[in-house]
Amino acid sequence: MLTARQGLRALPPLPALLTLPVVLALLTLCLALPAASPAQAFPAQASPAQASPAQASAARAASRNPVVLVHGYNADPGVWGALRADLRAAGYTDAELFSFGYDTHRSVNEVLAGRLGAYVDQVRRETGAAEVDVVSHSFGSLVSRWYVKFGGGAAAVDHWVSLAGPNRGTSTAWACALWDQACRDMTPGSYVVKNLNSGDETPGAVKYATFWSHCDEVVNPDDSVPLNGATNTPVGCLEHNDLLGDDGTSAGVRAFLGS
Q: Where are the domains of the chain?
A: 65-257
pLDDT tens, position by position, 84-143 = 999 999 999 999 999 999 999 999 999 999 999 999 999 999 999 999 999 999 999 999
**Helix axes of 140-150 and 113-127: crossing angle, nearest 10 degrees:** 80
pLDDT of residue 61: 56
Mean pLDDT of 5-34: 38
Helix or strand or coil: residue 159? strand
Q: What is the tens place of the pLDDT at every residue in 28-67?
A: 333 333 333 333 332 333 333 454 544 444 445 567 999 9
CATH of domain 65-257: 3.40.50.1820
Length of the chain: 259
Radius of gyration of the chain (CA): 34
- Is the pLDDT confidence value at 161 over 90? yes
Q: Which residues pair with 212 in a beta bridge?
A: 234
